[in-house]
Structures are given as C-alpha cells and as structure tokens.
C-alpha cells in the first residue's frame, strides 16, 4: 500500500511538471495586442546593459506603442548613464518618464530623453552636476608605517592617488575634465527638453548641484507634469493611440542563486564596491 502511494505521488509530481512546462509554452510572456512597455531603473546606476537590452526589445516590437520609464535613482557613473540616454534618444516611439521618490543627477539625465516627464510634487530631482571623489589615506598610512614607491611613465599617471594630495596642476586638470562632463550634462538637457524651449542660461541657473522637489522642477520646466506612475501610463496610452486602459508589459525580475539562498543581491553589492572608486559620477552625493 505504501509503495502504491509513493508511486501515485511520483506520477502526480511528473504530471505537475509537465503542466507547468506546457503552460510556459502556451501562455505568452506578454499581453496580446497593442500595449505599453514599462522599464524600471532603480537604485544607483553602475551598468547600462540590462536597461539597453530592454530598450532594444521594446523598440523593435510593433505591438508596443509607447515606452514608460519608471526612475527611482540617485544617478550613477557617467558612462552607463550616457549610454542609456543615447539609446532612448534613438527610439522612434513616444517615451514617458515617471519619477518615483528620486531621479537626481544621472537619474534626471536619463529622464531628459523622454517626450514627457511626470514627477510627484515631493519627488527629489535635479542635482544637476558632476562629482569626483578621491579617498585619502596618506596620514593613516604614515601612522601605521606603510610606505610606497611609484615608478610612472608620465607626470600625471598617479594623479588622484589616495596616498597623497593633488598638486595644483592635477587639480586644474581634473577640474577641466569635470567641467567638460558637466557641459555634456547641460547639452543633454537642452537636447532632450527642446520641446519646452529651455535656454542654456535657464538650465545653468539651476545646474549647480541643488536638489529640488517635483513641484519646484515643474516651475523650472525640468518636468512637464505632476503625477504618479498611473498618470504616466494613462498619458502614454493616449499618445500611443491605445483605446481604453492600456495593457503593460515589463521584464520579469529574476533573482540570482545567491540572492535566493541568502536574500542578498551579492553580485550588485560587489559591483558597487568595485565601481565605487575614483570615477566621474552624475550622482546625488549622500
């Protein structure tokens, strides 16, 4: 009797697995018919590959009539931020951004690629600018008896070393780089927000690193409308020519094995540690 029960349970498990496999094959990953795509950008931006993959997927899908970008980010490293912005600027469909709690610095940079930006009245945004940090441990290394020797190919090869302060020439060199990347930020805003006729002076007047609320950003023409994600989806549906409540497709979240086992996204934490060294950032400093 016990043997028969085990056999029955085994058959049921096999049938269940077969049903799941068939369901995955039959049930589509996304709604059928005209729809919107929702791309989420959450947390500090250290990589662009995942977001760009989504952009390519949806811009080539004829049933996706518009793209909504939900941003909740303090910004991040300049390169990935610019890559995401550039790919969005190539999309021929309407792009609507919904800012959550924060879209500061690089988060706002990406938002400027949209045709229309929604923000909550209390959203934190702005922080337009560039920052470069140089950790210093020179005094600490002297106290604990650590010394070093440097052999370099040029005067500036060890610029920004954590073991010494910057020379006036090095400071001027880095400031020039920061200023150039800052100008790229201003130019990106002007290119993305040309529909509201922002002038360079209007942007530079608020592009001093200051943070502002969504309502303040609306007054400065940095966003187009106050509203939440549902408002952005409704608006995107209308400009995309979708009648009624629009269907929305978005990427399914997939957790790594390590995250499933211990509940922590180790890969992202390691990536942040590795990339949180000396680098140019469009990021809210906190």
Q: Which residue among 142, 157, 194, 255 is the active-site one?
A: 157
In the annotation, is 127 catalytic?
Answer: no
Q: Which residue among 73, 94, 105, 159 is the active-site one?
A: 105
Phi and psi torsions of 253, nearest 5°: -75, 130
SS (H, E, C) the chain: CHHHHHHHHHHHHHHHHHHHHHHHHHCCCCCCCCEEEEEEEECCECCCHHHHHHHHHHHCCCCEEEEEEEEEECEEEHHHHHHHHHHHHHCCCEEEEEEEEEEECHHHHHHCCCCEEEECCCCEEECCCCECCCCCCHHHHHHCCCCCCCCCCCCCCCCCCCCCCCCHHHHHHHHHHHHHHHHHHHHHHHHHCHHHCCCHHHHHCCCCCCEEEHHHHHHCCCCCEECCHHHHHHHHHHHCCCCCCCCEEECCCCCCHHHHHHCCCHHHHHHHHHHCCCCCEEECCC
In the annotation, is 157 catalytic?
Answer: yes
> Hey, which residues are catalytic here?
105, 157
């Amino acid at each position: 009797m016990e043997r028969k029960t085990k056999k029955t349970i085994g058959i049921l498990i096999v049938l269940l697995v077969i049903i799941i496999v068939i369901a995955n094959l039959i049930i589509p990953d996304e709604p059928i018919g005209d729809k919107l795509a929702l791309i989420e950008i959450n947390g500090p931006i250290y990589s662009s590959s995942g977001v760009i993959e989504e952009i390519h997927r949806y811009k080539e899908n004829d049933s996706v009539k518009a793209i909504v970008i939900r941003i909740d980010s303090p910004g991040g490293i300049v390169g990935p931020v610019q890559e995401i912005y550039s790919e969005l600027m190539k999309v021929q469909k309407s792009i609507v951004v919904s800012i959550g709690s924060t879209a500061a610095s690089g988060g706002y940079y990406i938002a400027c690629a949209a045709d229309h930006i929604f923000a909550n009245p209390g959203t934190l945004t702005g922080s337009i600018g560039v920052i470069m940090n140089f950790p210093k441990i020179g005094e600490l290394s002297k106290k604990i008896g650590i010394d070093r020797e440097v052999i370099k190919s040029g005067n500036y090869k060890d610029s920004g070393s954590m073991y010494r302060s910057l020379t006036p020439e090095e400071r001027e060199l880095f400031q020039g780089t920061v200023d150039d990347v800052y100008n790229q930020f201003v130019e990106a805003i002007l290119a993305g927000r040309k529909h509201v006729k922002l002038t360079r002076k209007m942007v530079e007047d608020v592009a001093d690193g200051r943070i502002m609320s969504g309502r303040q950003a609306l007054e400065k023409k940095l966003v187009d409308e106050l509203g939440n994600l549902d408002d952005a989806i409704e608006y995107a549906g209308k400009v995309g020519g979708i009648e009624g409540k629009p269907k929305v497709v978005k990427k399914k979240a997939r957790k790594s094995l390590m995250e499933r086992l211990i509940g922590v996204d180790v890969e992202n934490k390691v990536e942040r540690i590795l990339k949180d060294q000396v680098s140019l950032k469009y990021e809210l400093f906190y």
